[in-house]
Structure formats: structure tokens, C-alpha cells
């Protein structure tokens, strides 16, 4: 579905990604883990067309998309939920969702998708007429994800969905990502909350200073010494698993 090879990116003279490679297969939930400033958001920006990479290739559904503008990437079926959520605060929940469906060709398709989105987020159905600004932080994150789902994307990109949310809201959001995964959705998730991310992901990559340093099945990575010590704050107790780079 998505294959990223040797991705390099910079902001002006500040190089942030130094040859990051990873892939997401159809139906997988894949997490990119890393500390503050490791370059996780930058990876998503490059994939979504918001930051043209310096070098490397990004293949999405067998087509090269590196350097395509964001609207063309979106048209190919890739939806980004940015960390800042970027919903329209003065519009109702319903209006925000309809905007998310604008790439769909038929109104019938939009309404069918809306009905499906409401089954995933019943809270949004209850709040359909409320303006987005009056939603709680957790509900705004739900709306941002729901709006992205309204385009029926082939691949959902989630940037730090847990940031700034109360624990119960985080639980709800991650529960939804898990449900989507069980329904066959393909998701690339960027997260600082390593513990939660490894609970819902099938596979994960660890990014350090713009380089992938480790990858593997999520349940193997939970036991990897680097992950246990540096990201989970746990003592090292078991032999290494996963593929060190």
C-alpha cells in the first residue's frame, strides 16, 4: 500500500530525515515511535505532500507520490489527521463531516459513509448540530478522525492522536483505531505514547534523530531492550527481538 524508501527531508538548512525507509501493507496498523523532535510529524508531512522531500521515494498504491501536491495525494486516497486537528470551529459537527466527504462523487455515498462514521463515533451523532468549537478535546479528535474517514481513504495517517487528551478520551480514540483495524482499515500512526501504540499496532518502527533504528512486530518490540528502557521506562529482562538496524 505505502512504501517509503530512503526518505530525506529538511526545513531550510536543518536536515530532519536521514534516509528513513518503511512500509505499510493493506490492512495493517503501523506505528512510528520516537521521542520529541525525532522527525515523526515530518514523515507524515512528506507522505501527505505537505513537505517535498529532498530525496527518496514514496510509493502509494504502486504510484510514485513524492513531490505531488497535498490535494493530489488526498485524491489518491490518503487522509492525514494532523496533530492540531484543524477542524472548522464555527461549523457544526455535521457540516465538518460533510466537508470531509466532498471528494466522494455521490451524495448517496456521503450519506452511507456518514451513517458508518456515526456507528464508529456514536458521540458525534449525539453532537451533530453542535459547533465544533464547543466539543471537548477528545470529541474534537474524534471529529478530526471522523472527517478524514468521510473521504473513505485507502490509508489513514494519524499524527499523535493522544496529545493533550484525558486518559479516558485517549482510550476511546485508541479503541476506535483498533476497531478500524479489525474492519480492515490501513493506518499509519505516529505516537509518543509508545505503550498505547504498541497495544494497537501490528508492526512498529522506532525513529531516532531522523533514522529508523529498529522495527518489528509490535508484540516483539514490547520486549526489546531499547524499547523497554528508552521508551517504556521498564527494566530490561528478556533477550532482544525485532530487527535492529
51-90 footprint of ligand ATP as x/- string (CB under 6 A): ----------------------------------------
User: Residue 150 to residues 80, 104, 177: CA-CA distances in angstroms?
Assistant: 12, 8, 15
Choice from 1, 22, 40, 223 touching ligand ATP (CB under 6 A) = 40
For residue 30, what is the enclosing H or E element?
strand 29-33
CB 32 within 8 A of CB 190: yes
Q: Please give the size of the binding site for ligand ATP, defined by CB under 6 A.
A: 12
Tell which one of 22, 28, 29, 39 touches ligand ATP (CB under 6 A): 39
**Rounded Cα–Cα distance for residues 153 and 74 (Å):** 8
**Are the beta carbons of 218 and 202 closer than 8 angstroms?**
yes
Stretch that binds ligand ATP, among 32-40, 64-72, 73-81, 88-96 (CB under 6 A): 32-40
Classify residue 210 as left (phi > 0), alpha (psi -120 to 50) or beta: left
Our finding on whether 14 is near ligand ATP (CB under 6 A) is yes
- Encoded one letter per residue, x for contact with ligand ATP by CB under 6 A and - for no contact, window 186-205 reads ------x-------------
User: What is the rounded CA–CA span in Å between residue 155 and residue 28?
Assistant: 10
Binding site residues, ligand ATP, CB under 6 A: 11, 14, 16, 34, 36-42, 192
Amino acid at each position: 500500500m505505502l512504501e517509503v524508501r530512503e526518505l530525506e527531508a529538511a526545513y531550510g538548512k536543518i536536515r530532519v530525515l536521514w534516509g528513513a525507509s518503511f512500509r505499510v501493507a493493506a490492512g495493517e496498523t503501523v506505528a512510528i515511535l520516537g521521542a520529541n523532535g525525532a522527525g515523526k510529524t515530518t514523515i507524515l508531512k512528506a507522505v501527505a505532500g505537505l513537505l517535498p522531500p529532498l530525496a527518496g521515494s514514496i510509493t502509494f498504491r504502486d504510484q510514485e507520490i513524492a513531490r505531488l501536491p497535498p490535494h493530489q495525494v488526498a485524491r489518491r486516497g490518503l487522509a492525514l489527521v494532523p496533530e492540531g486537528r484543524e477542524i472548522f470551529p464555527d461549523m457544526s459537527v455535521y457540516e465538518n463531516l460533510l466537508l470531509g466527504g466532498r471528494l466522494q462523487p455521490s451524495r448517496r455515498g456521503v450519506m452511507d459513509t456518514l451513517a458508518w462514521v456515526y456507528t464508529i463515533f456514536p458521540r458525534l451523532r449525539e453532537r451533530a448540530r453542535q459547533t465544533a468549537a464547543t466539543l471537548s478535546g477528545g470529541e474534537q479528535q474524534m471529529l478530526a478522525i471522523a472527517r478524514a474517514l468521510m473521504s473513505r481513504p485507502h490509508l489513514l495517517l494519524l499524527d499523535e492522536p493522544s496529545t493533550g487528551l484525558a486518559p479516558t478520551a485517549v482510550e476511546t480514540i485508541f479503541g476506535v483505531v483498533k476497531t478500524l483495524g479489525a474492519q480492515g482499515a490501513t493506518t499509519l500512526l505516529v505516537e509518543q505514547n509508545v505503550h498505547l501504540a504498541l497495544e494497537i499496532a501490528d508492526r512498529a518502527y522506532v525513529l531516532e534523530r531522523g533514522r529508523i533504528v529498529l522495527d518489528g512486530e509490535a508484540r516483539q518490540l514490547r520486549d526489546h531492550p531499547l524499547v523497554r528502557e528508552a521508551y517504556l521506562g521498564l527494566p530490561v529482562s528478556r533477550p532482544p527481538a525485532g530487527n535492529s538496524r
